A = this chain, B = another copy of it.
């Protein structure tokens, strides 16, 4: 089964944005056993979109579109495809209802263009958008499958992972269904992980092992295509067991949850709560944790101290710890330990987690970009401190540091 990814949007051709969707979908398709042979980018232009469809149909079985589902005049993908396939557009009533209620609740007026987002190609499967208004589409005609996803990654990703992947798998299932299991890793980089498993990866044929990286986390999807479900699952389990025996300490989940969700689940089961004190991550650690619905049961609060005065004022770190000749400084193991203990005390949490380091671009206190100290303190106890050197730019350092702090907390909770 061969797929072509067609990203629609003049902003891509002008170089205003990077086509990160193509990368994400390439990985996602590989993970469910679909090969990508071409990626195409085309502008918001009917004739050229038609031309791209013509070419892609001749060389692929699945056409995955992103972009052009929104409300504006530039959003053409659905109209062009409907016209190309000789189908009509209809209004998707459930989406219209949601939109009408939404606008009514805001007390604002729905403009005509908003209705376009609820349009839908007749006879297709609507794909639910949990993060926006534009409904997606999936359909089959003359042996070619078409999947229409929105352009914004936050809307595209859940739609692909949820209804679009399910539809693709059910369409492919007519042949041999694909069985798969996901292993989710933290605390280990993609290259190290690959290095440790290189013999398994190189020898793979059935099951296949596909790595799937996002910042600070890696996942492996082990897949086997077979009509014999029990046999496929046994093969997958055998490979999973080999991986677990080598890298078990890094596997935080064998289902599709984030590291922060895994940490929150452990906290819930231990009836414990956490607070965080952040310097270089600047609120990212709190933001990751509170991104999980229901996190208010286990997350009490976060204190972002971006200056020494604030570390002193909000966390009670002595200034002589932070400044002056011979002081350890803000970026130090002892400051990380103090921050973790003090935030646990101040908030009355069972756990305090701290991050202090150098996110860059410049050095801090003469310390290099990427140097990060983490503290994990148990209520009324000492703090454990970890030091890492992470590569990359400011954003990368921040996300890796936050994920590593979550990983260390996860290890401690698991061991309880």
Residue of B nearest to A303 (CB): B303
Contact B48 A43 (CB under 8 A): no
Answer whether residue A202 sits at the interface, using C-beta atoms and an 8 A cutoff: yes
Chain A contact patch, size range: 35 or more
Contact A191 B291 (CB under 8 A): no
Measured between beta carbons, the chain B residues less than 8 angstroms from A392 are 131-132
* Listed stretches A67-75, A225-233, A263-271, A321-329; interface member: A67-75
Is A360 a contact partner of B18 (Cβ separation < 8 A)?
A: no
Q: Is A283 within 8 A of B304, CB to CB?
A: yes
Which residue of B30, B102, B361 contacts A14 across the interface (Cβ within 8 Å)?
B30
A37 and B26 within 8 A (CB) = no
User: A133 contacts the other chain (Cβ, under 8 Å)?
Assistant: yes
Contacts of A293 in B (CB 8 A): 360-362, 394
0/1 per residue, A285-312, Cβ < 8 Å to B? 1110111010110011111111101100
Q: Is A347 an interface residue (CB 8 A)?
A: yes
Q: Does A113 belong to the interface (CB within 8 Å)?
A: yes
Report if A212 contacts B (CB, 8 A): yes
Give CA–CA (A52, B40) in the complex, Å.
Answer: 10
Known A13-B37, A19-B39, A22-B19: A301·B290 in contact at CB below 8 Å: no
Contact B221 A14 (CB under 8 A): yes
Q: Is the interface of A mostly helix, strand, loop or mixed?
A: mixed
User: Does A11 have its Cβ within 8 Å of any Cβ on chain B?
Assistant: yes
* Contact, CB under 8 Å: A72 / B191: yes
B contact residues around A361 at 8 Å (CB): 293
A26 and B38 contact, CB distance less than 8 A: no
Contact B22 A41 (CB under 8 A): yes
CA A192 to CA B106, docked complex, whole Å:
14
Q: How far is the CB of A78 from chain B (nearest CB, A)?
A: 16
> Across the interface, which residues of B come within 8 angstroms of A306, CB to CB?
290, 295-296, 299-302
Contact of A202 with B73 in the complex, beta carbons under 8 Å: yes
Whether A19 contacts B17 by the Cβ 8 Å rule is no
**List of B residues within 8 angstroms of A88 by Cβ:** none
CA separation between A21 and B231, bound complex, in Å?
A: 38
Interface contact B291-A394, CB-CB below 8 Å: yes
A213 to B295: give the CA distance in the assembly, Å. Answer: 29
A19-B19, A211-B74 are contacts. A39–B12 as well, Cβ < 8 Å?
Answer: yes
Tell me if A304 and B304 are in contact (CB < 8 A): yes
- Which of B19, B39, B299 is close to A23, meaning CB atoms less than 8 Å apart? B19
Structural contact, A40 and B39, CB atoms closer than 8 A: yes
Cβ–Cβ < 8 Å partners of A105 in chain B: 368, 370, 389
Given known A74-B211, A303-B302, A392-B131, contact A194–B43 (CB-CB < 8 A) = no
What are 30 of the A-B contact pairs (CB < 8 Å)? A10-B210, A11-B210, A12-B23, A13-B26, A15-B24, A15-B25, A15-B26, A15-B36, A16-B221, A37-B43, A38-B42, A51-B59, A102-B391, A113-B194, A113-B195, A154-B395, A278-B283, A282-B286, A282-B299, A283-B285, A283-B290, A283-B302, A283-B304, A296-B306, A299-B306, A300-B310, A301-B310, A301-B314, A302-B303, A302-B306
The 7 closest A-B pairs by CB, nearest first: A282-B290, A283-B286, A15-B27, A15-B26, A302-B304, A283-B283, A39-B41
